[in-house]
Amino acid sequence: MKNIRRGVFETNSSSTHSVTISGFDLMLDVSLVPDINGNIIIQGKEFGWKWEKFNDAYSKASYCFLNFKERREELKEIIKKQTGANNVIFDEHDGYIDHVGEHCSIEKIEDFHFFIFDKNSWLFLGNDNEYAPNEFYDLPGTKYNYLLTTEGLPFVLKWKFKDLPTDEDAEEAISSLVQNIRFNQTKNCWERDWIFSNSREVYYIYSKYYLPAKNNKIVFLKDNLYHEAYKLKTKVSELILKKENQIEISYTIQKRKC
Amino acid sequence: MKFPIQYKNGNVKITLHSDGTKIRTFTGEPMPEFPESIDLKITNKCDINCPYCHESSLPGARGGNIYRIIQELETLPPVGIELAIGGGNPGSHPDLIFLLETLKKRNFICNITLHREHAWRIEDFILQDLVHGIGISGAKVPEFLWNNVIYHFIAGINNIEDIEPFKKILVLGFKNLGRGKKCNQEKIKKNLDRWYKYIPMYFKEKIISFDNLAIEQLGIKRFFTDEGWKYFYMGDDGQFSMYIDGVRGEFAISSTSKKRVSWNETSIINFFQKEFLWTKNLKNF
């Protein structure tokens, strides 16, 4: 066990000075401070549209007010107790939560306190339209020992791992890395959102359901295989095997140098 | 003594650095055998007449017997125990320099608190290496720029905005004792409420210490994680520290304790150990 007093001698002539604050190590979030009238005003924000994470008390409080409407009075009391505010005013404004998670529940009132004010308690927000970006769920200071890099694209895609990834982890990372890439043979390589083949341009996409990445290879398939299969009256699986329907790039996973 | 100072006190290992940083390590329950810091009052004499003085110090009040104080302190091991010397105005005691010189030879780390009106002597103290930490009360601007100067403020008396120009501050709780009893309690309550609300605004840019009374009055524990509190809280009064009233010749856990024991009846170590165990048992009970 260790106690520490930082940067001051004992000069108090009435009783010892018993705690010294010098920086924010091991402290709760103290950024919610009442205004000149003693009030704390929290506005509703828009949550869940993109991949975002928060550990500041304001954002987490705003989220709680929006998500736990029936418990707003309890939330106000928690914030008043922590900050000394006379009143806590929640202004819903344009606040909105998209993609509310099924597991988003807080039972005990003291857990709200912990969730809002503890900086180690994070609010992760995302959606089910795309994969989470690299490092998203990792906390600041995480050490990454392995790096996945792609070869054969005009740009290098990278994904950091804490430990040597399993095949499943690597596949998940690749899915996230290439999720917005449409590969076009005539124009070499493109990175575009939600563009599909038309009569003039044919795009290749990655699909882990058809050909999951393995043996250091990522295979992009024509995105119009279904149309072709319909036209040719054949099976999609047969078309997948044809080399002209595939574009292959490679990737490596290496230990990072410290 | 050369910094960093290291010593053992019971099962507690203490390291004290030249900027005042103190690191205490122990396994299990800390069981110190002697106080690692002592609040020492050497006089009740002071000509400032602060209307809130909890010691009710006066210009004509008497000073303590320095020889007897030294005699009591010499019973402690010469390892680097901190002394917070105060009063009254400790600078008014004619034997102050003798006290500081003697205690320096006995390896005590002397710190002193003075009102800014009396602080003209601190340069001498520093140059002679007689004191390490210096507390200044009553300051409006940071006029003393040594590293180890810490400015004292009383929550409930000073306005919280008063701390703005200062980097290192110590916040003391308001003591409803002495002349403090005669202060407008309603005004003090309002003032304390402002400190309670707005003190976190200053955490980012300052080093702020709190005494145990301020910790209670301003609810300082609410800003820490459980782990942080265990790490940074330096203990209750009497756990590692004690008070000596060198004017009345008494030992106590702190200057606000009603329970006091005459130094004719016991020694510092006996008093500390008895009080330590009593406080600990009370806590466990």
pTM metric for this prediction: 0.85
* Shortest CA gap B197–chain A (Å): 5
Name the minimum distance, in Å, from the CA of B50 to any CA of chain A: 15
Cross-chain residue pair A4–B23, CB shorter than 8 Å: yes
Tokens 């402690």 belong to B76
Please give the Cα distance from B221 to A35 (Å, whole number): 22
N-terminal to C-terminal alpha carbon distance within chain A: 31
- Residue contact A4–B54, C-beta within 8 A: no
Cα distance from A195 to chain B (closest Cα, Å)?
A: 48
- CB B200 to CB A28 under 8 A? no
Nearest CA among A41, A51, A43, A42 for reference residue A98: A51
pLDDT tens by residue, B252-278:
999 999 999 999 999 999 999 998 877
Question: What are A68's two structure tokens?
Answer: 């736990």
- Amino acid type, A56: D
Chain A residues with CB under 8 Å of B234 CB are 3, 5, 16-20
Query: A17-34, pLDDT tens digit by residue?
Result: 688 888 888 999 999 999
Chain A residues inside the 8 Å CB shell of B111: 9-11
Interface contact flag, A28 B20, Cβ < 8 Å = no
pLDDT digits (tens, 9 = 90+) for B2-37: 999 999 999 999 999 999 999 999 999 999 999 999
Phi/psi of residue B89, nearest 5 degrees: -100, 105
Domain chopping of chain B, boundaries: 1-131+240-285, 139-234
Chain B residues closer than 8 Å to A55 by CB: none
* A122, A139 Cβ separation under 8 angstroms: yes
Listed residue (B101, B98, B32) closest to B66, CA to CA = B98
Query: Under an 8 A CB cutoff, do A11 and B233 touch?
Result: no
Band of pLDDT at residue A5, cut at 50, 70 and 90: confident
Here the ipTM equals: 0.88
CATH 3.30.750.210 matches B1-131+240-285 = yes
Contacts (Cβ under 8 Å, ≥6 apart) of A123? A53, A54, A55, A59, A60, A63, A115
Handedness of CA A226, A228, A230, A232 (dihedral sign): negative
Asked if the Cβ–Cβ distance from A9 to B113 is below 8 Å, we say no
Reported confidence tier of residue A14, pLDDT bands at 50, 70, 90 = low
Q: What are phi and psi of B279, to 5 degrees?
A: -65, -40
Number of CB pairs, chain A paired with chain B, less than 8 A apart? 200
B66-73 and B96-105 helices cross at what angle (nearest 10)? 20
Q: Which segments of chain B are extended strands (E)?
A: 5-9, 12-16, 22-26, 37-41, 82-86, 109-115, 134-137, 149-154, 168-172, 207-211, 241-245, 250-252, 261-262
CB A245 within 8 A of CB A210: no
Spell out which residues of chain A touch residue B81, defining contact as CB-CB under 8 Å.
Answer: none
Task: Say if residue B190's pLDDT is above 90.
Answer: yes
